[in-house]
Amino acid sequence: MNWLLDLTPDEWNAVRLSIKVATVAMLASLPPGILIALLLARGQFWGKTLLNGLVHLPLILPPVVTGYLLLLTFGRRGPAGAFLAEHFGIVFSFRWTGAALACGVMGFPLMVRAIRLSIEAVDRRMEAAAGTLGANPLWVFATITLPLILPGLIAGAILAFAKAMGEFGATITFVSNIPNETQTLPSAIYTFTQVPGGDEGALRLTLISIVISMAALVASEVLARRVGRRMDIE
């Protein structure tokens, strides 16, 4: 067992970085994810199909294409990248933030789908009842809609996290494979497989990868069950 836990500093960094990137990607995509899911579930507007298609694009495009598009838009010379760097000092290219962006974008359709389904399942008559009790639409959302879609939110967040943990193509295309900066677990495993004698390291990271993903899944199950029990929905 010793060889399994005896990680080199670079391997530890890859593990830590992966968790950081996946967590940030998940948390940062939650607010826009909820907003877009709301729009798609309840909005009646021109271009809804287009928005829906756009959101799902990362799911159907080859990840390399998504990564390249991110490089074009959020790279140093890209329109969005240049703007953000100049006005807010946020740089994506070849930084871990870029990896988080790539992972977030790749997981976004999964998150939106899960949240959208749970919003569509909300009994809108509950919201009407809250309205007659004096709650304005914002309060209705915060006190009725949000708690009722919590299981969907958790499911969507965990899906996005798991997707981020496994993201490879878009990340490596957008921010490359720099140890300590953008080398996440999949990139590190890939690197190991490219050098002679790297099998042991690749296997170690693979097992760690499995453990983290399983832990996330179990955590989401436990959380969802807790929320469900609290609500007592039969």
Report the interface residues with another protein, using CB under 8 A: 123, 125-126, 128-137, 139-140, 143-144, 147-148, 230-234
**For the purposes of burial, counting CB atoms within 10 Å of the CB of 94, is it exposed (0-12), middle (13-18) or buried (19 or more)?**
middle
Please say which residue, 86 or 234, places its beta carbon nearer to another protein.
234
- Provide the token pair at 106: 């790749």
Kindly state the smallest distance separating residue 130's Cβ from another protein, in Å: 7
Amino acid at 174: F
Kindly state the smallest distance separating residue 124's Cβ from another protein, in Å: 11
Buried b (16+ CB within 10 A) or exposed e, 150-175: bbbbbbbbbbbbbbbbbbbbbbbbbb
Kindly state the smallest distance separating residue 24's Cβ from another protein, in Å: 29
Q: Tell me how many helices (H) and strands (E) the chain has.
A: 13, 0
Kindly state the smallest distance separating residue 17's Cβ from another protein, in Å: 37
Please say which residue, 87 or 229, places its beta carbon nearer to another protein.
229
Kindly state the smallest distance separating residue 231's Cβ from another protein, in Å: 5
Please say which residue, 47 or 228, places its beta carbon nearer to another protein.
228
Please say which residue, 60 or 128, places its beta carbon nearer to another protein.
128
Query: Distance of CA 130 to CAs 34, 52, 80, 138, 151, Å?
Result: 21, 30, 41, 11, 21
Please say which residue, 89 or 134, places its beta carbon nearer to another protein.
134
